[in-house]
Amino acid sequence: MASTPRRPINPMDAAEALFKPAPKKAAPVIERPPVPHGRETVSIRMDSDVLAWFQNDGPGWQDRINDALRAAMVGKD
């Protein structure tokens, strides 16, 4: 059974082992504050007839849903 020595025998190998570059650390993740009045992409489940009602008026149906939800939110205050 051949075993390798714990320390390098060659002084050059020993010196290179001492001055081996350290592994680079990953940069920390920067958390950015949310944009005021920004929008987020979400997934929401709703009845198909409710969705169809908002989509019947054409483009802008997502804004209309947002307006309806905001009106419900303000109405609770």
pTM above 0.95, yes or no: no
Return the axis-axis angle of helices 61-75 and 48-55, rounded to nearest 10°.
Answer: 110
Distance CA 65, CA 72 (A): 11
> For position 77, what pLDDT does the model report?
64
Runs of H (alpha helix) within the chain: 11-18, 48-55, 61-75
> What is the chain's pLDDT, residue by residue, as a tens digit (77 residues)?
566 667 657 888 878 878 887 788 888 888 887 788 788 888 999 999 999 999 999 999 999 999 999 999 998 76
> For position 45, what pLDDT does the model report?
96
Residue whose pair of structure tokens reads 């804004």 in the numeric block = 63
> For position 75, what pLDDT does the model report?
83
Distance CA 64, CA 28 (A): 39
